[in-house]
């Protein structure tokens, strides 16, 4: 449902730019505001689900999400919209809880199939959103994209309350062997018993049994992420223009940009300091820096970055007027992007089956290579709608293999009772990448513009260079992902993680 909402909204971004009279950089916050809230709430939701139970927390999250949907359709300006989108972002924090339920219900050797099915449902939401979202926008306006989801949200709440049943796991015997074996690498504190045996696992467990929530960490993380994204929003070198033809400066001086940079650096440093000293951290660096989890999380950050950078870019590229864009309406733009979602739908469960047979590592390497090939294709061939659809489909294959494989690595490398906090951290990192993607795309589109005379009015739109920069950036970060995948494979082979290689 959450992805259905996003893909329905994406074709409407050009309409929101025009209706709210905002710049391309500011338009990225329609996605980014949602993602920042999601980034902050995801590890909190994971921790709360470990403490109070997955079902209870899931119901609260989805009820809050329904409220955000209800108010967004009444937005009359960008600030009202951003508040509503921030409330909706809480809904994305349900992802680690969902994967954690899969962890509880599926046997270890079948976990990748369960994750693949779950990923395919995400893709199914994207398919439905792209098929009907464009038509809804074209005939009823972007407001209807939110109103049509409210009954679905209510139905989902009832379904969760009636059919989801999962118990908290607190058994000492459920500790994953790899974590016990590698506890010194994770960084347990030195605490020995009088009989000479190490008591670190019990201390580690007590930390997560606590009901304390790291609010200081959440606040500093939110400030850090927001500050750095504001830097991207205001870094363009040219003046900007709204789609009604009036040109204006964004109004941020170099001093303001430098202030955002300084605030981001200080907040990030404080966040790291708080997390390392906190007895109950929002992000536990002992799990985060684990030999197999660290490269996995870096790869998932790149996946999130790539996915939402494409979402922001393609919708504008397809709907902007020719010759800078393709001049399509919302419905046609959704159809051109549809192969991307269809391939995700097919390869979601297929990736799970492949991983169950080959392990997670080879498909991750293959997935990152295919993703790089997809971006390379977009760099070289994006002058026709057909070439865009084909390259988007290639991207979807690579991202599917990578997402399912990396998620499987994190699950298999984490103790069962800590899966909520670990998957929450992984999802947080993916969402942070997702927030950076559209902000960077908006910066490129705002910094590189050309003028078109439409009805005697000069209007500014992203130039061909802006799209070249965006696709080239995607290709370069995908190459980094390939290197990380190879690094992950070398580490995991040395550690001999069960059901992984």
Residue in 376, 381, 412 with CA at minimum distance from that of residue 395: 376
Contact assessment for residue 300 and residue 96, using Cβ atoms and an 8 Å cutoff: no
Residue in 183, 233, 227 with CA at minimum distance from that of residue 205: 183
Question: How many CB atoms sit inside 10 A of residue 362's CB?
Answer: 16
Query: Exposed e or buried b for every residue in 282-313, given b needs 16+ CB within 10 A?
Result: bbbebbbebbbbbbbbbbbbbbbbbbbbbbbb
- Rounded CA separation 46/406 (Å): 18
Question: Can you give the pLDDT at residue 417?
Answer: 62
**Would you give per-residue pLDDT tens digits along the chain (501 residues)?**
877 887 788 888 888 888 888 888 888 888 888 888 888 887 788 778 877 888 888 899 989 988 888 898 898 889 999 999 999 988 888 877 877 777 777 777 777 677 667 766 776 777 777 778 888 888 888 888 888 888 888 888 898 888 887 754 443 334 333 333 333 334 333 343 444 444 444 444 444 445 677 788 888 988 988 888 888 777 654 444 444 443 444 445 577 788 889 999 999 999 989 888 877 777 777 777 777 788 888 999 999 899 888 888 988 898 888 888 888 888 888 888 888 878 877 776 676 677 777 777 888 899 999 999 999 999 999 889 999 999 999 998 898 888 878 878 887 777 766 666 677 678 778 888 888 888 888 888 888 888 888 777 888 889 889 999 999 999 999 999 999 999 888 876 655 555 555
Residue in 364, 383, 391, 345 with CA at minimum distance from that of residue 493: 364
For 18-62, give the DSSP string.
HHHT--HHHHTHHHHHHHHHHHHHHHHHHHHHHHH-HHHHHHHHH
Question: Can you give the pLDDT at residue 466?
Answer: 92
Contact assessment for residue 376 and residue 477, using Cβ atoms and an 8 Å cutoff: no
Q: For the chain, which domains are there? A: 2-192+211-495 (1.20.1250.20)
Question: How many CB atoms sit inside 10 A of residue 258's CB?
Answer: 11
CA atoms within a 13 Å half-sphere pointing along the CA-CB vector of 161: 11
Question: Can you give the pLDDT at residue 376?
Answer: 95
Question: Can you give the pLDDT at residue 142?
Answer: 85
- Rounded CA separation 315/11 (Å): 5
Question: Can you give the pLDDT at residue 245?
Answer: 42
Three-class secondary structure assignment of 407-464: HHHHHHCCCHHHHHHHHHHHHHHHHHHHHHHHHHHHHHHHHCEEEEEECCEEEEEECH
Q: Which two tokens stand for residue 25?
A: 């950089």
Question: Can you give the pLDDT at residue 196?
Answer: 43
């Amino acid at each position: 449902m959450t992805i259905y909402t996003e893909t329905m909204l994406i074709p409407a971004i050009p309409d929101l730019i025009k209706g709210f009279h905002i710049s391309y950089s500011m338009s990225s916050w329609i996605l980014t505001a949602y993602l920042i809230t999601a980034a902050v709430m995801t590890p909190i939701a994971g921790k709360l689900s470990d403490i109070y139970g997955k079902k209870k927390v899931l119901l609260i999250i989805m009820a809050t999400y329904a409220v955000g949907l209800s108010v967004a359709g009444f937005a009359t300006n960008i600030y009202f919209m951003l508040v509503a989108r921030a409330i909706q972002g809480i809904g994305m924090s349900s992802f680690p809880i969902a994967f954690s339920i899969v962890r509880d219900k599926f046997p270890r050797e079948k976990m990748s199939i369960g994750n693949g099915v779950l990923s395919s449902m995400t893709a199914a939401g994207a398919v439905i959103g792209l098929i009907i979202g464009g038509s809804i926008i074209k005939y009823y306006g972007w407001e209807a994209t939110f109103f049509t989801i409210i009954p679905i949200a209510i139905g989902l709440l009832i379904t969760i309350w009636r059919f989801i049943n999962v118990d908290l796991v607190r058994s000492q015997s459920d500790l994953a062997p790899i974590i016990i074996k590698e506890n010194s690498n994770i960084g347990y504190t030195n605490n020995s018993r009088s009989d000479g045996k190490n008591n670190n696992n019990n201390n580690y467990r007590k930390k997560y049994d606590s009901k304390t929530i790291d609010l200081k960490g959440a606040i500093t993380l939110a400030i850090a992420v927001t500050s750095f994204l504001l830097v991207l929003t205001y870094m363009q070198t040219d003046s900007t223009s709204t789609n009604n033809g009036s040109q204006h400066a964004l109004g941020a001086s170099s001093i303001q940009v430098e202030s955002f940079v300084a605030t981001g650096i200080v907040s990030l440093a404080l966040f790291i300091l708080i997390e390392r000293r906190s007895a109950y951290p929002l992000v536990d660096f002992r799990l985060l820096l684990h030999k197999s989890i660290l490269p996995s999380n870096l790869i998932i950050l790149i996946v999130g970055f790539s996915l939402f950078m494409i979402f922001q870019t393609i919708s504008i590229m397809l709907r902007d007027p020719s010759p800078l864009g393709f001049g399509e309406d919302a419905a046609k733009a959704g159809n051109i992007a549809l192969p991307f979602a269809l391939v995700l739908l097919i390869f979601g469960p297929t990736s799970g089956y492949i991983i169950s047979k080959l392990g997670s590592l080879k498909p991750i390497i293959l997935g990152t290579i295919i993703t790089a090939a997809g971006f390379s294709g977009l760099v070289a061939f994006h002058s026709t709608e057909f070439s865009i659809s084909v390259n988007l489909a290639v991207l979807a294959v690579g991202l599917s293999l990578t997402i399912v494989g990396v998620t499987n690595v994190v699950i298999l490398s984490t103790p069962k009772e800590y899966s909520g906090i670990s998957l929450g951290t992984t999802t947080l990192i993916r969402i942070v990448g997702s927030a950076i993607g559209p902000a960077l795309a908006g910066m490129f589109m705002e910094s590189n513009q050309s003028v078109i005379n439409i009805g005697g009015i000069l209007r500014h739109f992203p130039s061909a260079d802006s799209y070249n920069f965006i696709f080239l950036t995607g290709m370069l970060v995908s190459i980094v992902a390939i290197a990380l995948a190879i690094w992950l494979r070398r580490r995991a082979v040395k550690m001999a993680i069960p059901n992984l290689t």
